[in-house]
Structure 1
Amino acid sequence: MDFGLADKTAIVTGGAGRIGSEDCRVLAQEGTEVVVLDVNHEAAENVADEINDGDYAGTAHAVECDLTDREQVSDTVAALEEETGGIDILVNNAGMVDARDRLENFDDEIWDRDMDINLTGTYNITKEVFPRMKEREWGRIVNMSSMAGWQGGFGQASYSATKAALIGFGKTLALEGAQSGITSNVIAPSIVVGALADMPIDQLEQMDEHFARIAKATPMRKLGTEADVSNLIAFLCSEQASYITGQVVGVTGGIDLFSF
């Protein structure tokens, strides 16, 4: 199926990361010009080089940007708009997920860091891109939330709070962009672990008991892959998804279902 993305330009924040890089690859496969935006320029360049040197219909280039620096974000988006002719797709993927502690022991600095990166960083770049999409009367925004944003996460106060906020933010964008040809949707994955997803649970237990417990609790009895998320992103950015907006879509293998 042709998703109609061959003439589009996309920014993927956190584009050098595990999920973000796969987002970049899948969008490039659809012919999109992809901006691999990340605070780690060398890692972003590696992803862009892989796409440009590979068998992809689209192209990529690396851009270093700190999403918590509003002036830098503003300058970066302005330069990209001029260079590319306009940003059509924004995938808000950047985020921190490493903090884990009970609330009474939670590090205040980690809380502030996660708010700055996961939530305010998303706000900063979206605020720059969104008005330009409205002027062109076309745009696709996808926010990366999490099951922790839907249902909470034990020991993940900052992560679950920011991911829950991204759901409300995404729905607000859907309302404000609906009459300007802009859709905004939110993806809420469970655990995605690449090659480990196909590993039998007994083998997974020997590598990571936490992952194994989640796989056992998942009706499909397996974990997800980065491609499960990225393929959905490509669809939500497509012309075929033009009537889908303000939705939170779980990529979970059914773990969010009540079962007994």
Structure 2
Amino acid sequence: MSVFEGRFAGRAAVITGGASGLGLAVARRIVAEGGSVALWDLNPDQLAVAAEELGGAHVEQLDVSDAEAVTRAAEATAAALGKIDILVCSAGITGATVPVHEFPLDSWRRVIDINLNGLFYCCRSVVPHMLAKGYGRIVNVSSVAGKEGNPNASAYSASKAGVIGFTKSLGKELAGKGVIANALTPATFESPILAQLPPSQVEYMRSKIPMGRLGDAHESAAMICFMASEECSFTTASTFDTSGGRTTY
């Protein structure tokens, strides 16, 4: 893992889903590059382990689909860190892997609540803190499924397509106000979320990647850290790709 010394010096970041997987990989880099982080996650045990590893990161144990809990977490985080410069929304679930006509209603609702509604709640609660300072970087983690759609993953695909559309709208709203918002569309990468999927679905997604392999969380974390940095200064309301050649648009 390459580290850009001091790139995030003085910056404070919120990372949802930050106790494991891609979120934790991003947190590690931001801390290594001089920033402070707040980890928002549902799993208290993973939060405790991650916070200790990162040297005492601020943590908020919450479900991002709870709008009031998100608002409270934003206020507590801003008080603890002094500000919020960066928001990385990486919390997400896959939902059921079945055809649309068999899709359980509770699974559909839960995927939309976390992947799309929860992301909206996080942005809605954090943006005012950024506007107050005249600076911010928002990275919303979408997926190639949001561009192409994966069969037997309708809720996940729909939620991630929603993330792209939402980010385009948000980025244009904030353009010229010092706050930049972009989305990332990774292909499948090695992550704990794969445990939610049958092996056949993982293999299908691997087969769609021209590079012939799954991604690595560090590859997407590197892209996110560029998107979350001051270097990303003239691109907003856009998507960045880490798909091994699958979605080049």
CA distance in 2, matches of 1:214, 1:70: 32
In structure 1, stretches of 5+ residues that fail to align are: 53-58, 195-207
Number of the residue aligned with 1:244: 235
SS of the residue corresponding to residue 245 of structure 2 reads coil
Number of the residue aligned with 1:192: 189
CA distance in 2, matches of 1:173, 1:15: 22
Number of the residue aligned with 1:102: 99
Identity %: 33
CA distance in 2, matches of 1:123, 1:3: 30
CA distance in 2, matches of 1:216, 1:46: 34
| Counterpart pick for 1:118 among 115, 118, 130 | 115
Q: 1:185 to 1:100 in 2, by over 3 A?
A: same
CA distance in 1, matches of 2:246, 2:33: 30
CA distance in 1, matches of 2:6, 2:116: 29
CA distance in 2, matches of 1:237, 1:256: 22
SS of the residue corresponding to residue 193 of structure 1 reads coil
Shift of 1:72: 1.6
Residue type at the aligned position of 2:48:
E
Number of the residue aligned with 2:245: 254
CA distance in 2, matches of 1:209, 1:158: 18
CA RMSD of aligned residues (A): 2.0
| Counterpart pick for 1:29 among 29, 32, 38 | 32
Shift of 1:49: 0.9
Residue type at the aligned position of 1:48:
A
SS of the residue corresponding to residue 39 of structure 2 reads strand
Q: Is it true that 1:39 corresponds to 2:30 in the alignment?
A: no
In structure 2, stretches of 5+ residues that fail to align are: 192-198
Q: Is it true that 1:218 corresponds to 2:221 in the alignment?
A: no
1:85-234 superposed matches below 5 A:
85-193=82-190, 211-212=202-203, 214-234=205-225
Deviation readout 1:65-98 (Å, 9 max, x if unpaired): 1212222211111111122111110001111114
CA distance in 2, matches of 1:209, 1:168: 29
Shift of 1:211: 4.3
Number of the residue aligned with 2:76: 79
Number of the residue aligned with 1:203: none
Higher helix fraction (1 or 2): 1
Number of the residue aligned with 1:56: none
Shift of 1:210: 5.0
* TM-score w.r.t. length of structure 1: 0.86
CA distance in 2, matches of 1:39, 1:215: 28
Shift of 1:236: 0.8
Q: Is it true that 1:66 corresponds to 2:63 in the alignment?
A: yes
CA distance in 2, matches of 1:210, 1:65: 29
Answer with 1 or 2: which has the greater Rg.
Answer: 1
